[in-house]
Amino acid sequence: MMNFDCSLSQLTSSMRIEPEPLSQHLENFIKEYVDKLERDGVVLGLSGGIDSAVVAALCARAVGAGNTLALIMPDRDSKKEHVKDALDFARSMGIETKLIDITPHLSQLGTYELFVLEGLPIGGESRETIIKRAYDLYRMVRGDTPFSASIVGFRDKEFGPYLGRANAYYRVKHRLRMVLLYLHAELENRLVVGAANKTEYRIGFFVKHGCDDAADIMPIIGLYKTQVRELARFLGIPSRIIDKAPSPDVIPGIVDEDAIGVPYEELDLILLALEKGWGSDTIATVLNVERGKVEYVRSLVQRSEHMRHLYTPR
C-alpha cells in the first residue's frame, strides 16, 4: 500500500520556493564570502543561459554591478545567439564584461582535430543535424545515452574510443574556462562564483574540474533547475534567456535534454522523490512515468558519485 505522504502534491509543494527571501539569503551568502576571503569583487562565466544569468544578477545585487566581472568565453562551436544574449544581459545589468574567444587556445591544444565531423555539412545537412542524429542512433542501439555512458570509463565498452574523444573534445573547453576565471580572479582579487545547479550536480551533468565545478562558491547548488527558473523570473531575467532550451553549448546540435534524455520538469521531481527515499515503483506510479526512467535517473546519481568526491586512502 502506498504511503499517504507519497503524492504528487507533496512533491510539487516541496519544489516551491519563496523567491524574495531566497534571493536575499543567497545575496547575503555571496557578500559574506567576498568579505570573509578579503576579495574586492567577484568574477563568473556568463554563457547566455539561465543559470549563469541568475548568478550574475545575484552577484550584482550582493556586491554591486561595478564589482562584478563576467567573462564571456565562446569558441567556434558556440552559438552566436548565446553570446549576444550574454552581452545584452550584462549590459542591461551594468556588469563589466570581457569577451574572450578561446578558439585559438583550443586549436593550439589540438582540440578540433579530435572532432571527426570537421568539414561538414555533408549532403546539405548541418553539423548540428548530423551530430543529433548520431546521438539519437547511439541511444536507440545501446539503450543508453552517450552522457550516461561517459560518466565512468570505457573499459571493454563498444564505441569507447569515440566517446573518449568526444569527452576530451568538450570537457577541455570547460576546463580552459575555469583557468581563465581563476587567472582574472587572482589578477584582480576577485572571488570565483560558479553557476552549477542541484539537478546537474546530482546526476553528474557537469565537467569535473571545469568552470561548472571548480569555483570558490556555488550560490545555486542547492536549487533544482525548475527552482532556478522560478528565481530567474523574480530577478527579472529576460524571458528569452528563461524560455530557450538549456544547452551546454560545447557540441553543436546537443541541448541539455537531448544529452540527459529526461525533461527537467520530470527529472527534478524524480530526483526530489529519490532524495526523500521513495522507491522506484512509487515514484513511477506517482509521476506516471516508466519505472525504467526512474532507474535510469537513480543510476546517474549513483554512477556520478565519484565526480562529487575526492577519494583518498583509508
Nearest to 84 by CA among 258, 194, 254, 244: 244
pTM, rounded to two decimals = 0.93
pLDDT-derived band of residue 122, with 50, 70 and 90 as boundaries?
very low
Spans of all domains in the chain: 8-306
Say if residue 242's pLDDT is above 90: yes
Q: CATH assignment of 8-306, given 3.40.50.620, 3.40.50.1820, 3.40.50.300, 3.40.50.280?
A: 3.40.50.620
Residue 4 is predicted with a pLDDT of 44
* pLDDT tens profile 83-109: 999 999 999 999 999 999 999 999 999
Long-range Cβ contacts of 142-146 (<8 Å, 24+ apart):
145/259, 145/260, 145/261, 146/259
SS3 98: strand
Measured between alpha carbons, how far is 254 from 25 in angstroms, rounded to an integer? 34
